[in-house]
Structure 1
C-alpha cells in the first residue's frame, strides 16, 4: 500500500519553479528596456513606457514613475519660472541699452550740427569736436575768444557762444563742464596771479555767455580752470603753446559703457 502511494508521487513532476524563473526573465527584459530607453531624453516615450509596464504588471505604479529618471533637463513642454530679481535685472539692462542707444544718437546729431556750423563759418582751425565714450567735447582756441592774457570775450566770439548755447538748448538734461587751459608761460598781473586764475576766469566768462540763453539750466553747468597742467601738445613751440591755450565745453554722457570707456590720463602724453 505504501509502495503504491510512493509511485504515484514520483509520477507527478513539480514544475512550480517555472513561476519565479519566468518572473526573473520578465524583470531582466524590463531592465534592458529601461536601460535602452534612458539613452533618450524624450519625456513622452518614458511616460508611454511607464504606462505600458504599469498595465503589464498591474502593480498600480509604473516602473518609470520615479521623477529622477525622467527629469533630464528642460524640455519643450516645460514651463520655466524665472527668478523675479533676474527678470527685473534683465528688464533694467534692456532699458539701459535703449537709453544708451538714444543718447548716442543725440550726441551724434549734436556733433553733426556743430561740425556744420564750424565748416559754414570757416572755423576749422579754431574749433574742433570729438565724441568718445565719456563725452562730446568742443575745443575752442583761445584766439577765437580772448585777447592775449585777457579773460574778456571778444565781441565776435559772443556770436559763437550764442550759437553753441542754442544747440545745447535742444539737449537740456546733460551735464556741461566748461574748462579753461593755458600754456606754460607764467603770468603775473594785477588781475591774474597765475595761469590758474586766468584759465578759471576764462572758463567762467564763457559759461556766463552760454547761460544768457534762458533755455539752459544753470544747475547743469560748472566751470573749472586747469592752468597749464593738462596740455594737448608740447609747450616747446609756438604752435604747441597755441594748441594748449583753449576752452573746452564738455557734454557729459549720462550712460557710460564701462567696458568701452576711454581712459583719458590726467596729463596727456606730450
Structure 2
C-alpha cells in the first residue's frame, strides 16, 4: 500500500468531531430530565399542602386524603393544625371565663350602689341598670344641680365622692358620663342651648369623680346629649323631670356576641 493511501486512512479514522454535538445533546437531555423531575416534585408538594388543608378541616376522623401522600413526610403539619385548634378552643374558653367574671364584678358593684341608695334614702333620685353593654348609674338632675345650672350642689358632692370610691374597684373600665335635659329650650345668659347645659353638667360631675386620684382620667369621657335621648316622652312635668339626668356608664369589655377576644386584656 502506498504511503498516500495509508495517510488518508489514518486521517479518516482520527476524525471524531461528531463527539462535540453528541455531548451537547446529552447535556440538554440531562437538563430536561432534571427540570421535569423538579416540576413533578413541586406538584407533589402542592398536593400535600392541599391534603393538609383538608385534614385540618376534617379532624373528627380519618379522611380519604390521609393515605394519599405521594412523598413520605413527618406529622409536623398535622401536629401544628391540632395545636392551632386547641389554641382557638382555649381562647374561647378563656373568653367565656372573662365574660362570667365580668358579670360577677358588675353585679357586685350594682349591689353596692343599690345598698348605698337604700341606706341614704335616694331611691327617687338614683337608679342602676345592668344590661349586655354596660352598668348604668342614673342620677336625677335635682340631686345634683339647681335649675338651669351645671355647678354641682355642695351637698351633692358627697354623692359623687361615694360613687367614685366604688368605681375605683374597677379601674380598667371605660366610663362615659352623659348629661341629658328635657325638651324645654333653655333661656338664660349662661347657656345658649340644652346641648351646652347637658355637656357642661356631664363635665362638671366628671371632674368631681376625678378628684379621686385612684381613677384614671384617660378612661373617662363626658358627653352631652341635650334633649335627644329621653327616657320617656316630655308630655308632662313628671316625665320631663325623669329626662333631666346624668348617667355614669361602665362599658363592658367582653360581650356574649364578641367574635374577637382582646388577648392583651385577657392576659391582664
- TM-score bracket, normalised by the shorter chain, equals 0.5 to 0.7
1:115-148 per-residue CA deviation (whole Å, 9 max, x = no partner) reads 0000000000000000000000000000000000
The CA distance in 2 between the partners of 1:188 and 1:148, in whole Å, is 11
Structure 1: stretches of 5+ with no match in the other structure: 1-72, 75-79, 260-270
Look up the SS of the partner of 2:135 in the other structure: strand
Aligned to 1:250: 249
Aligned to 1:120: 119
1:105 deviates by: 0.7
RMSD of the TM alignment (CA)? 1.8
The CA distance in 1 between the partners of 2:194 and 2:243, in whole Å, is 12
The CA distance in 2 between the partners of 1:200 and 1:217, in whole Å, is 20
Larger radius of gyration: 1
The CA distance in 2 between the partners of 1:119 and 1:95, in whole Å, is 36
The CA distance in 2 between the partners of 1:257 and 1:101, in whole Å, is 10
Aligned to 2:134: 135
Structure 1 residue ranges, 4+ long, deviating more than 2 angstroms after superposition: 80-85
Number of equivalenced pairs: 184
Aligned to 1:70: none
Q: How does 1:145-164 map to 2 (within 5 A)?
A: 145-164=144-163
Look up the SS of the partner of 2:138 in the other structure: strand
Look up the SS of the partner of 1:222 in the other structure: strand
Aligned to 2:94: 95
Aligned to 1:213: 212
Q: How does 1:197-212 map to 2 (within 5 A)?
A: 197-212=196-211
Aligned to 2:105: 106
**Alignment TM-score, normalising by the size of structure 1:** 0.66
Aligned to 2:12: none
Aligned to 1:187: 186
Q: How does 1:37-52 map to 2 (within 5 A)?
A: none
Look up the SS of the partner of 2:241 in the other structure: helix
Aligned to 2:173: 174
1:44-70 per-residue CA deviation (whole Å, 9 max, x = no partner) reads xxxxxxxxxxxxxxxxxxxxxxxxxxx
Structure 2: stretches of 5+ with no match in the other structure: 1-60, 63-77, 259-268
**Alignment TM-score, normalising by the size of structure 2:** 0.66
The CA distance in 1 between the partners of 2:86 and 2:158, in whole Å, is 51
1:87 deviates by: 1.5
The CA distance in 2 between the partners of 1:85 and 1:231, in whole Å, is 48
Look up the SS of the partner of 1:95 in the other structure: helix
